Structure 1
Amino acid sequence: MSGQESAREFTAQMSVRAGRWRLYVALMNTTEVWPEYRFGRSVPTFTDRTDALSALGFEPVPGAEWTWTEDSETPDDPASPVVLIAAIRVRSRAEVSA
């Protein structure tokens, strides 16, 4: 990779289902399987999330911050349970070190 090229950026997202958090990297516009990391039942700390991204071969893009969005489990149902989704821009660690 030349100095003018930059690592591809992706969005990592984290959500909870059935009491367990999972983090995955959405590899849009690729044929690759989306890497995924599953946490235990506690809410993952910032360090837990960074370590999980590293285990998947990614790191946050410099200056990127986690953003949180509220969604609903059942669209258009105001009584539906809330689903929290966190997201951050990431890049492949392998491409950065290449």
Structure 2
Amino acid sequence: MNGQTAPEFTAQMSLRDGRWGLYVVLLNTSERWPEHRFGRTIPTLTDRTDALSVLGFEPVPGAEWTWTEDSETPNNPASPVVLIAAIRVRSWSEVRA
């Protein structure tokens, strides 16, 4: 890569309509965000890594999944909780260029 560092992105995973979905957040672009939908089971660490690989990404060395709690309805303390997982990733094409 000529001494350049591959750009990093955030991959996030959340539950919607009873299924987990993983997507890579591509800010400041008109590109469609890469996305993977899982079945109805909770994705394992291996499932998540495999899904990232299919999308062309890999976790940044040393990165770990973090979990955040959000509200389905903002500013409503009675709203159901939404769990969002996130990890820093980089594109394989950028790493191997």
TM over 0.5: yes
Instruction: For residue 95 of structure 1, give the secondary structure of its aligned residue in structure 2.
Output: helix
Alpha-carbon distance, 1:68 to partner: 0.1
Partner of 1:26: 25
Alpha-carbon distance, 1:59 to partner: 0.2
- TM-score, reference length from structure 1: 0.96
Amino acid at match of 2:69: E
Amino acid at match of 1:70: E
Give CA deviations for 1:52-88 in whole Å, capped at 9, x if unaligned: 0000000000000000000010011111111000000
The answer to whether residue 93 in structure 2 is matched with residue 87 in structure 1 is no
Distance 1:94 1:30 in 2: 17
Alpha-carbon distance, 1:31 to partner: 2.4
Partner of 2:35: 36
Equivalent runs, 1:73-84 vs 2, <5 Å:
73-84=72-83
The answer to whether residue 50 in structure 2 is matched with residue 56 in structure 1 is no
Alpha-carbon distance, 1:18 to partner: 1.3
Aligned-pair identity (%): 78
Partner of 1:10: 9
After TM superposition, the runs of 4+ consecutive aligned structure 1 residues lying more than 2 A away are: none
Aligned length: 97
Distance 1:29 1:60 in 2: 21
Distance 1:66 1:24 in 2: 14
Amino acid at match of 1:93: W
Partner of 1:65: 64
- TM-score, reference length from structure 2: 0.97
Structure 1: gaps spanning 5 or more residues = none
- C-alpha RMSD over aligned residues: 0.7
